[in-house]
Amino acid sequence: MEKNVVETIRSLIAILNIPVTKTSIINEVNENPNNENLFGISEVLSKWNITNAAYHLSPAELDNDFCPFIAYISKGIKEYEFVVVKTIDDKEVTICNENYKNKVIERGEFNKLYNNTALVVEPEENAGEINYKANRQKEIAESLKVPLFILGAVLLLSGFFIQNRAFSWYNCLLLLLKSGGLTTAVLLLVQSIQSDNPYVKTLCFKGKHADCDEILTSRAAKLVSWLSWSEIGGFYFGGTFLLLLFSYTTPGVPETLAVLSAACLPYIVYSLSYQAFIAKKWCVLCTTVQAVLLAEFFANLSNFSNPLNHLTTVGFYRITISMLMPVLAWIVVKPLFKRSGELNAARKTLAKFKHNDELFKKVLSEQPSYNQPNQDFSIVLGNPASKNIVTIVSNPYCGPCSTAHKALDEWLAVSDDLQVRVVLTNTPQSSEAARHLVALNNTGDAELVKQALHDWYKQSKKDYPSWAKKYPADLDSVACDNVLRKQNEWCESVDVRFTPLVILNGHQLPESYVIEDLKYLI
């Protein structure tokens, strides 16, 4: 269901042409405690200023004026999924999600599937993700890591072949097949441990006739309880790749590779037969492996002969070492992959646990309580009338305070029911910057103060002279002295011992929570 929610939101965002990255969608869905229902989707969309509302609408009430909207439809007995309805008229409906890409179905068929629930959206003018350009650049850079790694590997391997005078079109064909098989085998190994990996999910999709999870979790996917065919495939492609790369000119190695490729033929028949006649569903990665194995067999036909007639002691040693290395590497790497998968699952569980509203209220009520600072000596951001009051005690030169203010900036940008009160600690180091911020606040220009705070805390290395030049202020006023005195008195009254100190509606934020968590709880 989680993938369905992510892809449904992605489809909606794409149709509306709203700037939001795929990474942000995945992160927001993963962190939302209601990520499998319409309420969770509504919360996620609201983060990006996409106004929305859920309605109980009968099929007869639906028309194209609502489009695009999210509908809840049946996909089987007691099974449902979300889809984006892109267009709808009396005859046809166009729907989108991870299984349907602009699929057109008859209106009558849609009416039977439709569950009378629709989420209607109306994006605001500023709809979209904060810092979209920077986040998109990071996403593109992240997506290029694997292709660039593969390109670099190909260039290095080509150089190796040329240098060792082993370069030929035949060797290139074998290397290409081995590389493809090894890449697919690695993806299968990743899927076997982290079935929710987004990259593998993209390649190994689930559909009417395709379901990688069903194939790879079946009993047929394992030779014995502790050894899967995916692992055997990884050992085979890893070992033979090393042989081809470093020992192909060694007597007996080409013949050994040919014999090993022939030994894989029964497995091809076994795997394809199971998928076609027993499971009646296909695994994209599995069938890719079968295709590579079959192509390898035909590519190696010219090398078929008894390898023992050519094998030397050196050749036997190299074959043994090459085939054992992937096995030994997997013994070391597998536990690390498992821990990583368990950690990701634990993070999701923790997020749902932390974002439980009732639990949070109970934990918050048990925290130390404080008298909230008055508005007259606080720097007030957001909605001054909001009853959701976040007080943050900051030091202008505190690193963690910069992180906290960044989170508050992002939250304020998407919420109109939040009041933030900033109190500054006045130490010898911070007195000049604190006084300047207070002086700016005394001008009554809320937007100016908000921007000045943002620009101050976003500096990795605080440069007061340059910042002060951009935001000139009267630092000698009596009003500044009065505000700073009241802030100091309040800090002493509540015994501020560290910064940032975050207080929500009069209670200190629990240690296990951070400001980013509050957006799911208020």
The answer to whether residue 156 sits within a structural domain is no
Among 339, 357, 390, identify where a domain stops. 339
Report the CATH number that the domain containing residue 55 is assigned in CATH: 3.90.70.10
Domain tally, the chain:
3
- Phi, psi dihedral angles at 503 (to 5 degrees): -125, 130
**Is the same domain home to 119 and 171?**
no
**Is the same domain home to 307 and 396?**
no
Residue 178, both tokens: 């081995």
The answer to whether residue 133 sits within a structural domain is no
The answer to whether residue 486 sits within a structural domain is yes
**Is the same domain home to 320 and 381?**
no
The amino acid present at 112, given as its one-letter code, is K
Expressed as residue numbers, the domain containing 1 is 1-123
Q: Walk along the chain (522 residues) and give the pLDDT tens digit of each residue.
A: 778 898 899 999 999 999 999 989 988 888 787 878 888 899 899 889 899 999 999 999 998 989 999 998 887 655 788 999 999 999 999 999 888 888 999 999 999 999 899 999 999 888 898 888 988 998 888 877 767 776 777 677 666 655 554 557 787 788 889 988 998 998 898 888 776 666 676 677 666 678 888 888 889 999 998 899 999 999 999 999 988 888 888 888 888 999 999 999 999 999 999 999 999 889 999 999 999 999 999 998 888 877 777 788 888 999 999 999 999 999 998 888 788 777 777 777 777 777 778 888 899 999 988 889 999 999 999 999 999 999 999 999 988 999 999 989 888 887 888 999 999 987 776 788 999 999 999 988 999 999 999 999 999 889 999 999 999 988 877 888 899 999 999 999 988 888 899 999 999 999 888 888 887 777
**Total Cβ atoms within 10 A of residue 436:** 23
Q: Is 513 helix (H, G, I), strand (E, B) or coil?
A: coil
**Is the same domain home to 206 and 247?**
yes
pLDDT at 107: 92
> Angle CA(76)–CA(77)–CA(83) in degrees, nearest 5?
40
pLDDT at 158: 62
**Is the same domain home to 411 and 324?**
no
Report the CATH number that the domain containing residue 507 is assigned in CATH: 3.40.30.10
**Is the same domain home to 334 and 376?**
no
The answer to whether residue 131 sits within a structural domain is no
pLDDT tens sequence across 229-267: 999 999 999 999 988 888 888 888 888 999 999 999 999
Among 71, 106, 123, identify where a domain stops. 123
What is d(CA 1, CA 13) in angstroms, rounded to the nearest whole number? 18
**Is the same domain home to 393 and 322?**
no
pLDDT at 207: 66
In terms of Cα–Cα distance, which of 73, 75, 98 is closest to 88? 73
Q: Is 67 helix (H, G, I), strand (E, B) or coil?
A: coil
DSSP 175-202: HHHHHHHHHHHHHHHHHHH-TT-HHHHH
**Is the same domain home to 113 and 251?**
no
What is d(CA 127, CA 84) in angstroms, rounded to the nearest whole number? 18
Dmax (CA) of the chain: 99
**Is the same domain home to 217 and 280?**
yes
**Is the same domain home to 307 and 391?**
no
**Is the same domain home to 12 and 113?**
yes
**Is the same domain home to 425 and 306?**
no
The answer to whether residue 348 sits within a structural domain is no
Report the CATH number that the domain containing residue 330 is assigned in CATH: 1.20.1440.130
The answer to whether residue 344 sits within a structural domain is no
pLDDT at 79: 76
Long-range contacts, 400-404 (Cβ 8 Å, 24+): 400/499, 400/500, 401/457, 401/499, 401/500, 402/457, 402/458, 402/459, 404/500, 404/502, 404/515
Give, in order, the Cα–Cα distances in Å from 165 to each of 155, 176, 205, 244, 290. Answer: 15, 18, 42, 14, 31
The answer to whether residue 65 sits within a structural domain is yes
The answer to whether residue 214 sits within a structural domain is yes
Among 72, 94, 123, identify where a domain stops. 123
